[in-house]
Amino acid sequence: LGQIRKPRRRTSKPLFEVSLSLAIKGSGTSSQTLYRELTTAIVDGRLRAGTRLPSVRQAREYYQVSRNTAAQVYERLVHDGLVAARQGSGTYVTKRLSRSTPAVDSAHARMPVHRLNPFWTDESVGAAIGFWRDSARPPSKARHSRPVDFRPALVDPRLFPFDVYRRVSAKQLRGLERTPATFKSAQGNQGNFYLREAITKHIALTRAVVCRPEEILVTAGAQQAFDLLARSLVTRAQTIVAMEDPGYPPMRVAFAAAGARIVPVGVDSEGLIIEQLPRDVGVICVCPSHQFPLGMTMSARRRERLIQTARARDAVIIEDDYDGEFRFDASPIEALRAGANSDCVFYVGTFSKCMLPALRLGFVVAPTWAMATLIAAKNCVDWHCPTPIQTAVSEFISGGHLARHVRRMREIYQERRRLILDFLHTELSEWLDPIPSCYGMHVSAMARRSVDAEHVADALVRQGVQLHSLSRYFQGPQTRTGLVFGYGAADLAQLKQGLVALRRVLSDA
Ligand SMILES: Cc1ncc(COP(=O)(O)O)c(C=O)c1O
């Protein structure tokens, strides 16, 4: 089997695009090699369900084997359940690939699976980083009614002004055509200058954060900002990183992947509990404006103590301000990075909530001493974010469209939020107690008495309603039970439908 060669280039129409390594003619291994190659291609998904394999008559052309050999191989694949022969039509890769067929198992056994880094094959890591990918489709029973998605921090793309975005995009693309952006320029890798300038104005207005374009690094969403900060700030197996618990699981994964020693720290009604911070903490990650997922705002007193503690311990703070644009009262509390002595704060912002997650655009406001390191890490990952997206968003902000969109969404979110809170305070008050908050795109509620939030969430999924139980946000022991009501993706009618379904489930429990 060591004697392997690539198939000849075919001149006929390429019906079958999968490239196979075939045995040398006369080596006596062609049947075994073809069987192995086809099995692997099916298991890997290179040959998808429904793909028609070349006919036995075409065996010489496609596999350089005899008809007989191909027929034997196909028979074995039929026996393994990987393909099916349809009378008069051909041989097709089967629709449903059972992962436990002997062929699949043996194909996997031959793969050097142990080469994969065990960190990434750990199920809990997969679950944490696959956070948004959960409990997919509502069951068929619920399909006739519209599904309701209460997952937090999602946005409703139906409300995004695509017409405006299309216009600014087209204008920017025309500009790029005339003056192509230079690739890999030091400044380009930090992010488009005009975008960074626009961001400084946007966060000065909405979050009172004052900074210069030189202090901003443009990233592929907040998640890449966490990853770059982890790469830059963590020394493997040494750096202690404190994280709010409950918290945002994908952020935890970024730091764990960099080898951080993660310490979960509890939160109370004023935010992160300072007394629980480890003595030798190096990095403290917080969502002070709108704790994720509980929703409280860190008090002014707690902010001051947090900054003092970080400075005294020579630690840095990462402020995740994922939905800070959406504030619903006149609360004067601004971003942590806006306050006094906040030069130890790395401020992370994103356009996923105030615009669209599909843009994959975010940023870090970083102290200047860290910028070169962050740019180096960014270069290592992807050099820079796509220029057409950066320039379009820059134009979207400087043309006043973002401010307009945020103003409009604030009203819509406030209406949705009011509906949920009214329902929680009336129809659901027997079971749930909302946590006071004044920001964002979700509200959480603690479960009273013996409500089994996990069970409630499971029962709702069966009715086409996705609602997270608080349990999935904890890293350490679960100290609270409750539910998280996101209102970014569902409209008023959907929210009502979901809340009524929730009431039914709670009363039936
Ligand atoms: C708390 C929190 N932080 C950060 C993010 C990251 O957003 P993105 O990577 O899309 O910018 C999210 C996304 O939903 C979030 O909920």
Residue with CA at minimum distance from ligand 1 atom 3: 322
Residue 14 predicted with pLDDT over 50:
no
pLDDT band at 4 (very low <50, low <70, confident <90, very high): very low
Residue appearing with tokens 């090699």: 33
Distance of CA 44 to the CA centre of its chain: 24
State the Cα–Cα distance between residues 16 and 6, nearest whole angstrom: 15
Looking at the DSSP bridge assignments, the partners of residue 338 are: none
Top mean pLDDT of 35-49, 151-165, 232-246 is at 232-246
Whole-number Cα distances in Å, 356 to 153, 401, 421, 438: 11, 13, 25, 22
Q: For residue 292, give the ligand 1 atom closest to its CA.
A: 1
364: amino acid identity, one letter: V
2 band by pLDDT with thresholds 50, 70 and 90? very low
Question: Mean pLDDT throughout 49-75?
Answer: 89
Q: Atom 2, ligand 1: which residue's CA is nearest?
A: 322
CB atoms within 10 A of CB 306: 24
Q: From the alpha carbon of 348, which atom of ligand 1 is closest?
A: 4
> What is the position in ligand 1's atom list of the atom closest to the CA of 248?
1
CA of 442 to the centre of ligand 1 (A): 13
Looking at residue 16, what is its pLDDT? 63
> What are the tens digits of pLDDT across the range 464-483?
999 999 999 999 999 999 99
How close is the Cα of 359 to the center of ligand 1, in Å? 13
pLDDT mean over 386-396? 95
Give yes or no for a contact between 271 and 286, defined as CB atoms under 8 angstroms apart. yes
Strands 90-93 and 83-86: antiparallel
Q: Give the pair of three-digit tokens for residue 236.
A: 């493997």
> For residue 350, which atom of ligand 1 is closest to its CA?
11
- Give per-residue burial for 177-215: e unless 16+ CB within 10 Å, then b: eeeeeeeeeeebbbbbbbbbbbbbebbeebbebebebeb
Most confident of 54-63, 76-85, 466-475: 466-475
To test the pocket of ligand 1, the residue of 350, 355, 484 to mutate (highest count of ligand atoms within 8 Å of its CB) is 350
pLDDT at 11: 41
Cβ neighbour number for residue 487 with a 10 Å cutoff: 28
pLDDT at residue 12 tops 70: no
* Separation of CA 325 and ligand 1 centre (Å): 14
CA of 473 to the centre of ligand 1 (A): 13
- Per-residue DSSP letters for 376-444? HHHHHHHSS--HHHHHHHHHHHHTTHHHHHHHHHHHHHHHHHHHHHHHHHTTTTTTEEEPP--BSSEEE
User: What distances in angstroms separate CA 67 from CA 30, 92, 141, 149, 226, one per listed residue?
Assistant: 12, 17, 48, 54, 56
DSSP per residue over 163-180, as a string?
A: HHHHHHHHHHHHHHHHSP
CA 403 – CA 243 distance, rounded (Å): 31
The minimum-distance atom of ligand 1 relative to the CA of 154 is 14
| pLDDT tens profile 264-308 | 999 999 999 999 999 999 999 999 999 999 999 999 999 999 999
For the cut 90, the answer to whether the pLDDT of residue 214 exceeds it is yes
CA of 248 to the centre of ligand 1 (A): 8
* 320-343 confidence digits (pLDDT tens): 999 888 888 766 578 999 988 889
Please tell me the predicted confidence (pLDDT) of residue 490: 95
Work out the percent of the chain whose per-residue pLDDT is above 90.
67
Rounded Cα gap, residues 159 and 150, in angstroms? 17
DSSP for residue 357: G
Q: What spacing in Å lies between the alpha carbon of 229 and ligand 1's midpoint?
A: 15
What is the 470 CA–ligand 1 centroid distance (Å)?
17
What is the mean predicted confidence (pLDDT) over 412-416?
Answer: 95
CA-to-CA distance for 331 and 297, rounded, in angstroms? Answer: 10
Instruction: Enumerate long-range contacts of 184-188, CB under 8 Å, 24 or more apart.
Output: 184/379, 184/383, 184/384, 186/375, 188/384, 188/387
Ligand 1 centroid to 139 CA: how many Å?
28
pLDDT higher than 60, residue 411: yes
The CA distance from 171 to 107, in Å, is: 51
List pLDDT tens digits, range 105-151. Answer: 776 677 788 899 999 999 899 989 988 776 545 554 555 568 899 99
CA of 322 to the centre of ligand 1 (A): 6
Q: Ligand 1, from 248, 473, 484: best to mutate by most atoms within 8 Å of Cβ?
A: 248
Ligand 1 lining (C-beta closer than 6 Å): 153, 221-223, 248, 287, 292, 320, 322, 350, 352, 357, 362
Token pair belonging to 434? 């909302």
Atom of ligand 1 nearest to the CA of 152: 16
* Residue 458 Cα to ligand 1 middle (Å): 24
Hey, is 257 helix, strand or coil?
A: helix
Chain centroid offset of residue 54 CA: 40
R_g over Cα of the chain? 27
Whether pLDDT at 428 is above 80: yes
Atom 7 of ligand 1: nearest residue by CA position = 222
**Ligand 1 centroid from CA 508, angstroms:** 34
Alpha-helical (H) ranges within 142-208 are 162-178, 186-190, 193-207
In percent, the amount of the chain with pLDDT more than 70 equals 88
pLDDT at 350: 97
Work out which ligand 1 atom sits closest to the CA atom of 357: 10
Confidence band of 498 (pLDDT split at 50, 70, 90) = very high
Q: What angle do CA 330, 218, 246 make, to 5 degrees?
A: 55
Distance 396 CA to ligand 1 centre (A): 21
Asked if 337 contacts 307 with a C-beta cutoff of 8 angstroms, the reply is: no
- Is 190 or 16 the better-scoring residue by pLDDT? 190
pLDDT, residue 88, reads: 82
Q: Is the CB of residue 351 less than 8 Å from the CB of residue 393? A: yes
Q: Whose CA is nearest to atom 6 of ligand 1?
A: 222
Structure-token match 């709108």, residue found: 290
Residues composing the chain: 509
- Would the CA dihedral through 264, 268, 271, 272 be positive or negative? negative
Average pLDDT in the chain: 89
292 Cβ contact partners less than 8 Å away, ≥ 6 residues apart: 152, 153, 244, 246, 247, 248, 320, 322, 473
Which DSSP symbol is given to 148? Answer: E
Give the confidence band of 261 by pLDDT, cuts at 50, 70, 90.
very high
Exposure of 340 in the CB half-sphere (CA atoms within 13 A) = 5
Residue 443 tokens read as 């509200």
- Two tokens, residue 351: 């356009």
Mutate-to-test residue for ligand 1 from 287, 290, 322, 437, highest number of ligand atoms within 8 A of CB: 322
Which of 161, 131, 148 lies closest to 356 in space, CA to CA?
A: 161
pLDDT at 26: 65
Query: Cα of 321 to ligand 1 centre, how many Å?
Result: 9
For residues 211-224, average pLDDT:
97
- Alpha-carbon dihedral sign for residues 118, 123, 127, 128: negative
Q: Which one-letter DSSP state was computed for residue 309? A: H
- Best CA proximity match to 347, nearest among 206, 239, 152: 206
Confidence bin at 426 (pLDDT 50/70/90): very high
Residue 152 has pLDDT above 60, yes or no: yes
Does 425 score more than 80 pLDDT?
A: yes
What tokens does 159 get? 């409300």
Of 43, 113, 5, nearest to 35 by C-alpha is 43
What spacing in Å lies between the alpha carbon of 316 and ligand 1's midpoint? Answer: 20
**CA atoms of 331 and 309, how far apart (whole Å):** 25
From 150, 156, 352, the mutation candidate for ligand 1 (largest count of ligand atoms within 8 A of CB) is 352
**Structure tokens given for 120:** 């990434």
Best of 154, 155, 223 to mutate for ligand 1, by most ligand atoms within 8 A of CB?
Answer: 223
